[in-house]
Amino acid sequence: MKKEKKILIYEDEIHDEFSGITRNKIAIDEHFRYINNNIFYRFFAFIVYRLIMTPVAYIYLKLKFNYKIKNKSVLKKIKKQPYFLYGNHTQVPGDGYIPNMITFPQKSYVIVSPENLALKGTRTFMKMIGAYPLPSDFHATKNFINGIETRLKQKSVITIYPEAHIWPYYTKIRPFDYRSFSYPISFNIPTFAFTVTYQKRHWRKTPRITIYLDGPFYPTPNVNKKDAAIILHDGVIDAMRKRSENSNYEYITYQKKEIIHD
């Protein structure tokens, strides 16, 4: 018997979550250590990220999705300088792996919700593989921003999923807020966009992944920060929407819930 295609019903493109992962809530306060300069920590962080995470990311993405990255040559335009990377949020655990493959040999730090560090005994490991949690309150924000500045000075990459919530295998680009683009404006460095697209494979049900890179997008000079963030947001989301048209297969279908009014 042929299995029917999975259908997910959503109400809100901005706030609905379909990852299927439930985690305990934790607080990232002013005492959270974003930067650890201990020599032993740095040594093991290198081992975990480069000798464990990178091979696992490649093998997983290659075996499951036969992934390809298109237009990666655009990264050569900035000659291994730091940058911000924005992408669509459509895979568990793939979205933790994809930036690793895009930014190699530079290290990518992925801005995540605090819940990603909630699993007991895994906080240090998650930090070593590049998880960079959002602060939970105003007092923690200074350390958060200072940590980003340090990573950029180290020529690392900061990855952001502006859609915030995971919609597995979604083939379009959901609306997202311009405020997440304040970071490249504040630090005055370039931005790149990546778009994960899905193509049908005849010999396997799960689709093939093709990732498209676009950029660099630069902050617009001589405008206020809000307008610059809006301009940058518009350029990135337009590029991602155009690239998303390269998807030709819906592994999961998303349907909006009909609201019946009396």
CATH number at residue 136: 3.40.1130
DSSP 8-state class, residue 7 = E
The reply to whether 221 falls in a domain is yes
Number of domains in the chain: 1
The reply to whether 262 falls in a domain is no
The reply to whether 115 falls in a domain is yes
In whole angstroms, give the CA distance from residue 200 to residue 248: 7
In whole angstroms, give the CA distance from residue 223 to residue 229: 10
Tokens of 18: 């379909």
CA proximity to 182, closest of 222, 219, 135, 153: 219
pLDDT of 3 over the 60 cut: no
In whole angstroms, give the CA distance from residue 192 to residue 38: 31
Cross-sheet strand order for the sheet of 191-199: 68-70, 208-217, 191-199, 83-87, 157-160, 108-112, 131-133
Beta-carbon contacts of residue 63 (< 8 Å; ≥ 6 apart): none
Residues present in the chain in total:
262
Kindly list the distances between the CA atom of residue 118 and the CA atoms of 2, 48, 49, 125, 209, in Å, as whole numbers in the listed order.
Answer: 39, 19, 20, 12, 29
What percent of the chain lies above the pLDDT cut of 90? 87
* pLDDT tier at 260, thresholds 50, 70, 90: low
CA proximity to 160, closest of 137, 117, 193: 193
Three-state SS at 112: strand
The reply to whether 53 falls in a domain is yes
Q: Torsion angle of alpha carbons 168, 170, 175, 181, nearest 10°? A: 60
Mean pLDDT within 147-153: 98
The reply to whether 167 falls in a domain is yes
Mean pLDDT within 128-156: 96
Strands (E), 171-236: 191-199, 208-217
B/e letters for 166-179, b = 16+ CB within 10 Å, e = fewer, are bbbbbbebbebebe
The reply to whether 1 falls in a domain is no
Mean pLDDT within 84-108: 97
Backbone dihedral region for residue 222 (phi beyond 0: left; psi -120 to 50: alpha; all else: beta): left
The residue with greater pLDDT, 63 or 119, is 63
Tokens of 257: 């819930």
Residue carrying the six token digits 């992944």:
209
pTM of full prediction above 0.75: yes
CA proximity to 100, closest of 138, 52, 32: 52
Beta-carbon contacts of residue 254 (< 8 Å; ≥ 6 apart): 7, 8, 9, 10, 167, 170
The reply to whether 261 falls in a domain is no
The residue with greater pLDDT, 80 or 23, is 80
Residue carrying the six token digits 């919609």:
167
Q: Tell me the β-bridge partners of 110.
A: 131, 159
Q: What's the pLDDT score for residue 56?
A: 97
Residue 196: give the domain boundaries: 6-256
The reply to whether 90 falls in a domain is yes
Mean pLDDT within 170-176: 97
